[in-house]
Structure 1
């Protein structure tokens, strides 16, 4: 019945810091849509942004920053991801470690975005 993820919604307290992380550090494309809404695009998916206290309806029952835990598959090898994160002075919380992804084994590093959401960046093994 379900084929793939189209988008997810991220709640932030600091739009500028959020944009910096997802665009500069992770290399996503910034998109504006609707009535001034923001999204970070990658592949055929996107992350829509809600600002805490100014969310769009309908929204999650309790939208809070720091509640997201997401795994993103990199378009380059994990060594390149680690080198890029180091070049951007972005700390790695854990990894590289082997995990199990949706389609099989993955090698992952974990970082936190400015709202302290846990972002897992992986390569498929």
Structure 2
């Protein structure tokens, strides 16, 4: 197997698992699915940058042809995506915790049952 085929299979497995987890009814699985999906997207961007074997690091002011240097833009994009993904995951964790505290349930079916509670309608 080539390196590109290995990466494509890994991205497919990560994205498939992420979609499966995101469609779950449990909030923790949705959070883990989101994390898997962001990692799969980062891997796609990294695989598009090409194979760095035999290429040198990109340096400012070098006289050598820029075609033999590794492109640093995908790496910068991935670093930015990791930071953004971490902050969104932290926000999603706090949001899901708050939903759990308010509703008393960690599933979407528990939210439906909490909305149908008769005592809550009388209090409003």
Q: Would you say same fold, with TM above 0.5?
A: no
Give the structure-1-normalised TM-score: 0.24
The higher radius of gyration belongs to: 2
Q: Which has the larger share of helix?
A: 2
Give the structure-2-normalised TM-score: 0.24
